[in-house]
Amino acid sequence: DQQVKQNSPSLSVQEGRISILNCDYTNSMFDYFLWYKKYPAEGPTFLISISSIKDKNEDGRFTVFLNKSAKHLSLHIVPSQPGDSAVYFCAASEEYGNKLVFGAGTILRVKS
């Protein structure tokens, strides 16, 4: 029972262009959403988050959009840089501070 789904296993983008990573969820009780980035041989690193009371949150080159009615969120990276190449995980929780439910991840490759 996958409550958080990242349907694109991989994405390849040219340096300088926009990267859009998508995530869908099924649990309507989720009210907090996060994106993590993971490099090989390292643990996931927090990137950006959004609560269900918002529909957009921005941090530098990273913007997360939340569409609650569609149970969909996306991460936009503009402009994409080669150092952004990593696995990106979408995660959600029912309550602030509670366990995180992760998607399977999307491998992003930014080509220079």
Binding site for other proteins (CB under 8 A): 4, 6, 32, 34, 36, 41-46, 49, 89, 91, 93, 96-105
Nearer to other proteins, 9 or 16 (CB): 9
With 0-12 / 13-18 / 19 or more C-beta atoms within 10 angstroms meaning exposed / middle / buried, residue 70 is exposed
Nearest distance from C-beta of residue 44 to other proteins, angstroms: 5
3-class DSSP state for residue 28? coil
Nearest distance from C-beta of residue 70 to other proteins, angstroms: 21
Nearer to other proteins, 26 or 98 (CB): 98
User: Does residue 28 come out as left (phi exceeding 0), alpha (psi in the -120 to 50 range) or beta?
Assistant: alpha
Nearest distance from C-beta of residue 69 to other proteins, angstroms: 23
